[in-house]
Amino acid sequence: MKGSGTTVGTMNRPILPRDEVARQFSVETTTLLRFESRGLVRAIRQGDVEGYGPAEIRRLWTILTFKQDLGINLAGIEVILRLRDQMAATHARLDRLARALREALEDEPGPDADG
C-alpha cells in the first residue's frame, strides 16, 4: 500500500478515506463496511471524511491476509483478533506489574543499609 496519507481535521491525525483504502487493498467498500459492522475495525470520522488511521489499516491488512491468503472465514478471524487483543492487553499488564516491582525493589533499602 502506498503511503499517501491524508491529514484531516484539527487533530492533525492522518487518516485514509474508506474508498481510498478499498482501492489500495483492491476490495469493495462494502467489504470494509462489513468488517466495521462485525467490529473487526473502526472507522474514524474527521469533518466530512470517514476513514482509517494507521493502526486500523494494519489491522485491515491482517484481516485481508487471513481471509484471502489463508482462507480463514470472518468468524475465525474474529476469534484470532480477539485473542491477539487479549494477549496484547495481558502483555501490557505484565509490563506494568514488572515496572512496579522494579520500582518497589529499587525503593527498598538493601541489607547493608543499617550497617
Q: Which three cell numbers stand for residue 115?
A: 550497617
The pLDDT of residue 108 is above 90: no
Average pLDDT over residues 24-50: 93
Identify the band that residue 14 occupies on the pLDDT scale cut at 50, 70 and 90.
confident
What CATH code is carried by the domain that includes residue 76? 1.10.1660.10
**The model's pTM:** 0.70
Q: Within a domain: residue 1? A: no
What is the three-class DSSP state of 45? Answer: strand
Parallel, antiparallel, or unpaired for β 44-46 and 6-8? unpaired
pLDDT recorded at residue 95: 96
Average pLDDT over the chain, rounded to an integer = 86
Q: Within a domain: residue 21? A: yes
Higher per-residue confidence, 8 vs 78:
78
102: domain range? 6-107
Q: Within a domain: residue 112? A: no
The pLDDT of residue 16 is above 70: yes
Domain count for the chain: 1
Q: Within a domain: residue 113? A: no
Distance of alpha carbon 86 from alpha carbon 56, whole angstroms: 17
Q: Within a domain: residue 75? A: yes
Identify the band that residue 107 occupies on the pLDDT scale cut at 50, 70 and 90.
confident
Q: Within a domain: residue 115? A: no
Q: Within a domain: residue 100? A: yes
pLDDT, one tens digit per residue, over 40-94 is: 999 999 888 999 999 999 999 999 999 999 999 999 999 999 999 999 999 999 9
